[in-house]
Amino acid sequence: MMNPFARRGVHATPSENRTKTINLQPYINIHFRMNKTVISLCLTVFFVQATLADPGSTLHSTMQEPIDRGELPGLIYIIADGDKILDEQYLGMAGGTGSKEMSPDALFWIASQSKPFAGVAVMMLVEEGKLSLDEPVTSYLPELKGLMVRSLKKESFQVLEKAVKPVTLRHLLSHTSGMTFLGGVQEQTGKIDQLSLVNSIYVSAITPLLFEPGERYEYSNQGINIAAAIVERVSGMSYETFLQKRIFDPLEMSSATFFPDGKQLSKLILPCTVKAGKMEEIPIGYLQYPLNDRNRRHAEAGGGIFCTPRDLLKFYRMIAAKGICRNRRIISEESVRQMGEAQTGIYPGSRNGLGWAVGDSYMGHGGALGSDTKIYPKSGLIVMYIVQGDFPKQHETFKLFEQTVRQLYGLE
C-alpha cells in the first residue's frame, strides 16, 4: 500500500507503517494557516476593489465621523474634473443651532480664496498690455512714492529708512512686497473691510514696509488690496464691477458677491466654535456687520467674497481648463501657467504663485474659517473642502480629508 506522505518526500519502512502512529495535526494547522492567509488576502483585495469602485462611500463615511462625534456641525466637499462632479457631499448642519442643513445653495465666506481672483484680474490687464508685473507700482499709483522700510522696532520707537528697491505687482501678488498683513486702522480693529481700496493706497503710503521688496516672504492682505487698487485705477472700474463683468458674469457665478443680502443671508453658513463643550455660532470676526451694509463695508480683495460651492467650482474649473470656460477664453494659458508657478521658492516656508498658493502638484488657496480648494493639473481633479468656524480639531479633520482623498484618487 502506498504511503500517503510519499508525495511530500516522507518515506517509511514497512515496520514503521505497522507500528508508528502519524500525527496529522501539524499538517492540518499548516493547511488551515495557508487557507486563512488566502482568505485574508482575498478579503483585502475585495475591500480595495470596493473602495476603488466607490471611493465616494469611503470618503463620506470617513468625513461623517467627526460630525457624529460633535467636533464640528457640518462640512461640504466636492471632487470634480473638467466634465463632471465625481463626488459632492453636504454633511451636517450649516450652523450651531441645528435648524439649517448644509445644501448646494449654501452661501459661505470664501475668505482668502478671494486672492486668486485678484491674480486673474491683474493678469487680464497684463495680457492687454495695460500692466506689467515687474514695473514699479508707482507707475500706476504715484501716491506710493517714497515708501519707508522699518529697519528697527522697539516698544517705544522705530527706525525708518527709505526703501531702496521699488515694489512691483509681482511682489504684491506673491507676498514679497514687505507690506504688513493689514494696514493702519484695519490692523488696529482687525476688520478687513473698513477701508475702500482707494483709502488703502493712502494707508499704505504712510505704513512702513517690514523689509525691502523682494527680500523675503510675508503674507499680506494689504498687498493684494493694492494690486486690486491698481486694477481699479487702470481699468477705470471699481474692483467689484471689474470682477462682475470680467469673471463673475462670464462664468455665470450668480451668487458671487462682496455684500450678501436678502435671500442670500438666509442661506449663509453660520460660523461656529465650541465653548464649554457646546457648539455656538459666532460672527465672522474679520468683517463688519450687517454684511449687506454698503456704506460702512467695502469690497476687500484679499478676503471679501461670498459664494456658493458650485459657483466657486466654476472659477476653479476655468483655471483647470487653462483659462477656458464653455469654449470661451477668459484668460490665456500663459497667464494660468505664470499664476501657478512658484514665485517665492527661495524663501523658506513659502510657496506662492501670483495670487495663488502652489505646491509640487497643485495650485489653489485656503481661506480663514476652514475652506480650501486645490487644482491638480496632472490628473485634472479639483478638490474643494468647506468648513466655517474655529474648532479644536479643525486642522486634524482637514488633514484627514486630504489624506483620504489622496489615497482614494491617487493624488501625489
Question: How do residues 351-385 score in pLDDT, each as one tens digit?
Answer: 899 999 999 899 999 999 999 999 999 999 999 99
| CA-to-CA separations, 49 to 44, 58, 233, 402, in angstroms, rounded | 8, 12, 56, 21
Residue 187 near residue 180 (C-beta atoms within 8 A): yes
- Name the pTM for this structure: 0.86
d(CA 135, CA 168): 6
d(CA 270, CA 216): 36
Same domain, 136 and 111: no
Written as nine digits, the cell of 5 is 506522505
| First-to-final CA distance of the chain | 63
d(CA 382, CA 213): 33
Same domain, 113 and 188: no
Residue 315 has pLDDT above 90, yes or no: yes
Residue 34 has pLDDT above 90, yes or no: no
Does a cis peptide bond (omega within 30 degrees of 0) precede residue 142?
no
Task: Give the mean model confidence (pLDDT) for residues 404-409.
Answer: 96
Same domain, 265 and 218: no
Query: Which of 235, 252, 270 is at the close of a domain?
Result: 235
Residue 262 has pLDDT above 60, yes or no: yes
Q: What is the largest CA-CA distance in the chain?
A: 111
pLDDT value at residue 303: 98
Task: Give the mean model confidence (pLDDT) for residues 167-184.
Answer: 95
pLDDT value at residue 56: 79
User: Tell me, what DSSP letter sits at residue 327?
Assistant: T
pLDDT value at residue 49: 45
Distance of CA 110 to the CA centre of its chain: 9
Higher-pLDDT residue of 326, 276: 326
Query: Which of 199, 218, 235 is at the close of a domain?
Result: 235
DSSP 3-state of 186: helix
pLDDT tens, 264-279? 999 999 999 998 888 9
pLDDT value at residue 277: 84
Q: Which domain holds residue 168?
A: 129-235
Same domain, 145 and 201: yes
User: Tell me, what DSSP letter sits at residue 304?
Assistant: -
pLDDT value at residue 55: 72
Same domain, 397 and 268: yes
Residue 177 near residue 213 (C-beta atoms within 8 A): yes
Q: What is the CATH number of the domain that holds 269?
A: 3.40.710.10
- With respect to residue 6, please indicate whether it lies within any of the assigned structural domains: no
User: 170: closest CA among 206, 225, 119?
Assistant: 119
Residues 6+ apart with CB under 8 A from 22: 5
Distance of CA 69 to the CA centre of its chain: 24
Same domain, 345 and 304: yes
SS in 3 state form for 62-118?
A: HHHHHHHCCCCCEEEEEEECCCCEEEEEEEEECCCCCCCECCCCCEEECHHHHHHHH
d(CA 386, CA 369): 9
Same domain, 110 and 163: no
d(CA 78, CA 252): 19
pLDDT value at residue 295: 96
| Percentage of residues of the chain with pLDDT beyond 90 | 76
How many residues are given for the chain?
412
d(CA 181, CA 90): 33
Residue 351 near residue 359 (C-beta atoms within 8 A): yes
Higher-pLDDT residue of 12, 169: 169
pLDDT value at residue 185: 83
Residue 137 has pLDDT above 80, yes or no: yes
Residue 116 near residue 139 (C-beta atoms within 8 A): no
Among 4-13, 215-224, 242-251, 267-276, whose mean pLDDT is lowest? 4-13
| CA-to-CA separations, 377 to 244, 374, 383, in angstroms, rounded | 26, 9, 11
Q: Specify the number of domains making up the chain.
A: 2
Question: Which residue's entry shows cell 494690486?
Answer: 227
